[in-house]
Structure 1
Amino acid sequence: MYAVSGVSSALERLAFCLGGKSETVIAPAPLCYGFSWCFTRRPEMKFAPVHPTAAGIENFQLTLEAVQRVYKAIDPKPRFPVSTNPNNPLGGNYPQQLLEEIYEWGLEYTDMHII
């Protein structure tokens, strides 16, 4: 267990502990700008947002397929996805079933750490 003051500090620690050169972090969008900033402070680390489908500005929907699409498009493969629940900045909660599908896929079919 590692305690820090504030989420930005926590994200930067994750980047430096888990990330290496040419690593990519993926995270559901829309998201707080700080996510990208915190992870890309690590030299040569990249950040790739997972853009959800939208049915109007108030109906962004994250899907397993969107996560898989971004994962498959990146080489070398991302080592970890990061998500916040409730979503930052929209404040909605991701459905438990969706999170479990993403985690199961990530743990079973990839080498990613689930953050």
Structure 2
Amino acid sequence: MLIWGNKQYVVDKIISDNGFHIFTKELAELVRGNEWVDKRWDRFRKEIKGIGPASASEILCHTHPEECAIWNRRAYVGLRYLEVPDLPRHDYQLTGKVYLRIIDVMGSLMEELRRVSL
């Protein structure tokens, strides 16, 4: 698809909007910071433009697969199907506190699936 043809443009835009030094500093803080993930999440989302919850959660889940969860449209649809209450519908609603709750829900779901051996 043509939309995915120029991926370098997206990278250049994120670096241009945030500055290379600031972006790398905030990315390192998100991934390896000493604070709880909710504080790191809120800081990253506040400081970095151009990376939404789906990308930020993918980065966290890639580096910390047992402690974090991916949040995107498919995760929203799946949890909604399972009737999980109070899910964020919009990006701005996904605060660090809400992300912690999602991690907890996904962790409980993972434990239950392991329990029933699926």
Same fold flag (TM > 0.5): no
TM-score between the two structures when normalised by the length of structure 1: 0.32
Specify which structure has the higher proportion of helix: 2
TM-score between the two structures when normalised by the length of structure 2: 0.31
Specify which structure has the higher proportion of strand: 1
